[in-house]
């Protein structure tokens, strides 16, 4: 087994006897209602909220997107998401470095889930702790950006081991930074060969068509 994968220890949503907890049952119920959920994680500032803003704008009219916004403080990201046109709930963890499932359960009560097809959870900006907590999501997506150095998958392997999708953002800045996209992809795929990779610039729109096309198939349960 890959050593990076062996180190992975997601806290599963199970009770002490190993059966699904009420929280996971709630997410199963979301799935029954045709709602698919993506947990978006990254270092602070890699572009999670910007990616969601661009995604909401592009998929307007095609599907209804809801967002649970996680931040230590402020409602700034929720305000951005609302301006972009999606229903949102802000969670402030007041110091905690990751979201936990009970926070998601509380936030879900505030969302009109009857009108949502695709639910994003924007986790706290942190490349370590969020990877250890199961929120009951269908899929985990990690965003990396060209401004944070091209060694992140190798140095923070668990995040890449537990994610199914990696989005490399800020391609427009490649002429100005030392960042080897192929090296990042190689590192990430060595940890997790199944990782689906998108390369985008939220600034120029490069790569966002492919991302949104895939999201539509994902939301429809086809990938």
Ligand X SMILES: Nc1nc2c(ncn2[C@@H]2O[C@H](COP(=O)(O)OP(=O)(O)OP(=O)(O)O)[C@@H](O)[C@H]2O)c(=O)[nH]1
Residues lying near Mg ion in the complex (CB under 5 A) are found at 48-49, 77
Q: Which is nearer to ligand X, 116 or 142 (CB)?
A: 142
Q: Please work out, in degrees rounded to the nearest 5, the angle formed at the alpha carbon of residue 9 by the alpha carbons of 193 and 157.
A: 45
Q: Which residue is nearest to ligand X (CB)?
A: 125
Q: Which is nearer to ligand X, 90 or 169 (CB)?
A: 169
Q: Does 125 bind ligand X (CB under 6 A)?
A: yes
Q: Which residue is nearest to Mg ion (CB)?
A: 49
| Phi, psi angles (nearest 5°) of residue 70 | -110, 125
| DSSP at 63 | -
Q: Which is nearer to ligand X, 13 or 68 (CB)?
A: 68
Q: Which is nearer to ligand X, 187 or 201 (CB)?
A: 201
What is the closest distance, in whole angstroms, from the C-beta atom of residue 114 to ligand X in the complex? Answer: 27
- Enumerate the β-bridge partners of residue 69: 90, 122
Q: Which is nearer to ligand X, 20 or 149 (CB)?
A: 149
Task: Give whole-number Cα distances, 39 to 34, 42, 178, 179, 198, in Å.
Answer: 17, 10, 28, 25, 16
Residue in 38, 62, 16, 25 with CA at minimum distance from that of residue 123:
38
Q: Please report which helix (H) or strand (E) contains residue 42, including its range.
A: strand 36-42
Q: Does 130 bind ligand X (CB under 6 A)?
A: no
Name which of ligand X, Mg ion, none residue 36 binds, using a CB cut-off of 5 to 8 Å depending on partner kind.
Answer: none
Tell which positions 186-205 bind ligand X, by CB under 6 A: 201-203
How many positions of this chain bind ligand X (CB under 6 A)?
Answer: 17
Cα separation, 54 vs 96, in Å, equals 27
Q: Does 169 bind ligand X (CB under 6 A)?
A: yes
Cα separation, 99 vs 187, in Å, equals 26
Binding interface with ligand X (CB under 6 A): 42, 44-50, 77, 125, 169-170, 172-173, 201-203
């Amino acid at each position: 087994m890959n050593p990076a994968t062996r180190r992975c220890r997601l806290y599963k949503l199970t009770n002490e006897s190993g059966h699904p907890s009420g929280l996971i049952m709630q997410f199963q119920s979301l799935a029954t209602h045709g709602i698919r959920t993506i947990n978006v994680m990254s270092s602070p500032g890699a572009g999670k909220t910007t990616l969601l803003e661009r995604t909401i704008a592009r998929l307007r009219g095609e599907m209804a997107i809801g967002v649970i916004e996680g931040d230590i403080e402020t409602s700034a990201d929720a305000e951005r998401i609302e301006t972009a046109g999606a229903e949102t709930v802000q969670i402030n963890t007041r110091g905690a470095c990751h979201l936990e499932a009970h926070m998601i359960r509380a936030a879900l009560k505030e969302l009109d889930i009857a009108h949502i097809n695709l639910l994003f959870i924007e986790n706290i900006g942190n490349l370590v702790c969020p990877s250890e907590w199961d929120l009951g999501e269908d899929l985990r997506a990690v965003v990396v950006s060209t401004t944070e150095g091209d060694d992140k998958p190798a140095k923070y392997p668990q995040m890449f081991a537990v994610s199914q999708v990696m989005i490399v953002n800020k391609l427009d800045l490649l002429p100005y930074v030392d960042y080897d996209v192929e090296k990042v992809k190689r590192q990430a795929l060595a940890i997790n060969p199944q990782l689906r990779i998108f390369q985008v610039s939220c600034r120029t729109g490069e790569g966002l068509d492919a991302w949104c096309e895939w999201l539509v198939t994902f939301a429809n349960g086809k990938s």
